[in-house]
Amino acid sequence: MTNPTASSPLARFDALFSEHQRPVLAYAMRRTQTLADAEDVAAETFTIAWRKIDAVPVEEPLPWLYAVARRVLANHRRGNGRRERLAALLRVEDVATPMRAGEDVDGPAFLALASLSPADQELLRLVAWEELGNQQIAAVLEITPNAVAIRLHRARARFAEALARESRDDDLKHLDPSRTSGEVKGTNGAAWKGAAK
Amino acid sequence: MSMANGPDPIDRLGAANPTRADDVPDASLARVSARIQEHIVTDIQNTSTIAPRRRQFALFGGLALAGAFALAIAFGSNLGAPAPGGAPIAANPSPSENPAAGGGGLASCLVYDPANLPTFEIVFDGTVTAVDGDKVTFDVNEDWKGAGASITLTAPDANVALLGESPDFAVGGRYLVTAAGSNINSCGYTLDYSAAEAAKWAAAFAS
C-alpha cells in the first residue's frame, strides 16, 4: 500500500484510490440501475477527489467521498434522460447492477425500506450498508450529528414497523401463493427489483 | 433498536446488503481506474502547458510533458499524439513485457520499447556518485542524449504506484536512465544496468 501521508498530490490520490475504490463503487452500485451507471458515478467521484485532493480529509476520507458520490448521483439522476440517449452510442455493455450471488433476497426487508421516504431510506442504507456512525453520516449528508440521531431514531422506528408489516404479508403469501407482491416503487437499483420478483 | 419478537431490523437490513465492497467486480474497478487515469493524464498535460500552474505541475512526482504523453498512451487514453522529438509511439500498445514497467495502484505503464528512447529529453548510462534525499548524482558513462559528463536529477516518488516502479538508487550502482528536465522518468524507462539492455539503448540511437 502507498503511504497516505506522502506529500505529493499524486501519491495522496493513489493511496486514496487504492484504499477506497471498492467501498465507493459498492456505494454507487447499491444506488444505480446499471453497472455502467455505477462506474460513471465512481469514476466521477474519484476524479473530483483528484482535483480537490487538498480538501480530502486525511484522517477519514470515506464519508467525504460518499458525500461527493451522493452529489454526483443526484446530478446523474437529473441528467438521466440525456445519458440514456447517449447510452446506445457509447456503451459496450449496460448490464443491471448485480446482486450478491448465491444468497436469497430478503424481500420483506427491501419492501419495508422501499415504503419509507427517500430521506429515511438513505439514512438507513448509510447505517446498514455503509456501516457508518452518526458523525460519519452527518459528514455525508452535510447535517449535524444531532440531526442525524433524531432522524435516525424516527427512521428506525418506521422501518421496524414497515418490516413487521411486510413480514406478516410475506408469511401470508406463503400460506396463500395467489397473493403476490407488486413492483417496488420509489427506489433505485437492481436490489429492489429483486425484492419484487 | 430491537423488536421484541426478532432481531434488530437494522441488522436484518445489513444482512440484505445487495453489494458488499468485497463483491465489487474487478473488471468494473479496472474500467473506473482507466477513466480516472485519463482525467489525471489530461490534467497533467494541461497543467504543463499553462504557465501559472507550472509550479503545481512540478509536484506531480517529476512527470514532464514527455512523461505525460507516455502515461497518456500507457493508460490507453486517446491522447496518443506523436511524442515530442521523435517517431509517434504506438497508439494502442500491448501490455508491457518489461518487468520494470507497470506497478500497483492505478499504474499501467507505457509499453517498453527501446525505440521510444530518442523521444525522451535525457538518456544515459550512469553510475551513482551521491544520493541526497531524492536528488541523485550520476557520473555519465554513456551520454546518448542531453546528460553531459555528470548530472544531478530528482528521483521519482517511490510512493506513487501510478508512476510505476523505478530502481532504488544507491551510490556505486549503475543504471540506464531517462529523464525529463531534472526529473527521472519511471514506468520502466529507468532501469538497473545490464549489458544486454545497454546494447539495445545504444542501438536506439545508432541510426
pLDDT of amino acid A20 = 94
Among A9-13, A136-140, A148-152, where is mean pLDDT lowest?
Answer: A9-13
pLDDT of amino acid B69 = 39
Mean pLDDT over the full length of chain B? 68
Top residue of B3, B19, B39 to mutate, by most chain A CBs within 10 Å, is: B19
Task: For chain B, state the CA radius of gyration.
Answer: 22
* CB spacing of B1 vs A128 below 8 angstroms: no
Among A104-108, A138-142, A146-150, A164-168, where is mean pLDDT lowest?
Answer: A104-108
DSSP tag of A96: B
pLDDT at B33 over 90: no
Q: How far apart are CA A24 and CA A40, in angstroms?
A: 11
Give Cα separations from B43 to A149, B32, B114, B118, B163 (angstroms).
41, 17, 27, 25, 15
- Average pLDDT on B146-169 reads 76
pLDDT at A185 over 60: no
pLDDT of amino acid A75 = 86
Among A137-151, B94-108, B136-150, where is mean pLDDT lowest?
Answer: B94-108
pLDDT of amino acid B115 = 81
Using a CB–CB cutoff of 8 Å, tell me whether B22 touches chain A: yes
CATH fold, domain A103-197, is Arc Repressor Mutant, subunit A (1.10.10)
Band (pLDDT 50/70/90 cuts) for residue A173 is low
To the nearest whole Å, the CA of A133 is away from the closest chain B CA by: 13
Strands B135-145 and B191-192: unpaired
The CA-CA-CA angle for residues A83, A87, A88, to 5°, reads 145
pLDDT of amino acid A149 = 96
Report chain B residues whose CB lies below 8 A from the CB of A189. Answer: 18
Kindly report the number of other CB atoms within 10 A of residue B112's CB atom: 18
- Average pLDDT on A180-196 reads 40
Q: How far apart are CA A66 and CA A106, in angstroms?
A: 25
* Cα four-point dihedral sign A113, A118, A124, A128: positive
pLDDT at A2 over 60: no
pLDDT at B144 over 70: yes
- Average pLDDT on B133-161 reads 86
pLDDT of amino acid B167 = 85
**What is the chain B residue with the closest CA to A107?**
B16
pLDDT of amino acid B106 = 47
Kindly report the number of other CB atoms within 10 A of residue B205's CB atom: 13
Q: What confidence tens digit (pLDDT) does each residue in B172-202 have?
A: 999 999 887 787 877 678 889 999 999 999 9
Q: What confidence tens digit (pLDDT) does each residue in A6-61 have?
A: 457 777 888 899 899 999 999 999 998 888 889 999 999 999 999 899 899 999 99
AA letter at A55: A
Q: How far apart are CA B146 and CA B143, in angstroms?
A: 7
Q: Which of B11, B21, B28 sits opposite A23 (nearest CB)?
A: B21
To the nearest whole Å, the CA of A157 is away from the closest chain B CA by: 8
pLDDT at B62 over 70: no
Give Cα separations from A89 to A92, A153, A177, A197 (angstroms).
8, 46, 43, 31
**What is the chain B residue with the closest CA to A23?**
B21
Q: How far apart are CA B107 and CA B162, in angstroms?
A: 4
pLDDT of amino acid B152 = 95
pLDDT at A166 over 90: no
Higher pLDDT, B70 or A168: A168
Mark which residues 60-119 of A lie under 8 Å from B by CB: 97-100, 105-106, 109-110, 112-113
Give Cα separations from A120 to A28, A32, A158 (angstroms).
18, 18, 9
Using a CB–CB cutoff of 8 Å, tell me whether B159 touches chain A: yes
pLDDT of amino acid B108 = 41
pLDDT of amino acid B47 = 55
Which residue ranges does chain A devote to CATH 1.10.10?
103-197
Furthest C-alpha separation in chain B: 84
C-alpha grid cell, residue B172: 556505486
Q: What confidence tens digit (pLDDT) does each residue in A81-128 have?
A: 565 555 544 443 445 555 444 456 778 888 899 899 999 999 999 999
To the nearest whole Å, the CA of A66 is away from the closest chain B CA by: 14
**What is the chain B residue with the closest CA to A30?**
B19
Residue with cell 432522524: A151
Q: What confidence tens digit (pLDDT) does each residue in A57-76 have?
A: 999 999 999 999 999 998 88
* CB spacing of A113 vs B13 below 8 angstroms: yes
Band (pLDDT 50/70/90 cuts) for residue B84 is very low
pLDDT of amino acid A96 = 52
Judge if ipTM > 0.85: no
* Cα four-point dihedral sign A156, A160, A161, A163: positive
Which residue ranges does chain A devote to CATH 1.10.1740.10?
1-98
- Helices A9-29 and A35-51 cross at an angle (nearest 10°) of 150
- Average pLDDT on B92-112 reads 40
Exposure string of A159-170, with b = 16+ CB inside 10 Å and e = fewer, is bbebbbebbebb
Domain map (residue ranges) of chain B: 25-204
pLDDT of amino acid A81 = 59
In CATH terms, A1-98 corresponds, of 3.40.50.1860, 2.40.30.110, 1.10.1740.10, 1.10.3720.10, to 1.10.1740.10
Q: How far apart are CA B120 and CA B115, in angstroms?
A: 11
* CB spacing of A100 vs B18 below 8 angstroms: yes
Which secondary-structure segment (H or E) carries B65? Answer: helix B65-74
Which secondary-structure segment (H or E) carries B125? Answer: strand B122-132
- Average pLDDT on B119-143 reads 92
Kindly report the number of other CB atoms within 10 A of residue B22's CB atom: 9
C-alpha grid cell, residue A161: 414497523
Q: How far apart are CA A117 and CA A60, in angstroms?
A: 29
Task: For chain A, state the CA radius of gyration.
Answer: 19
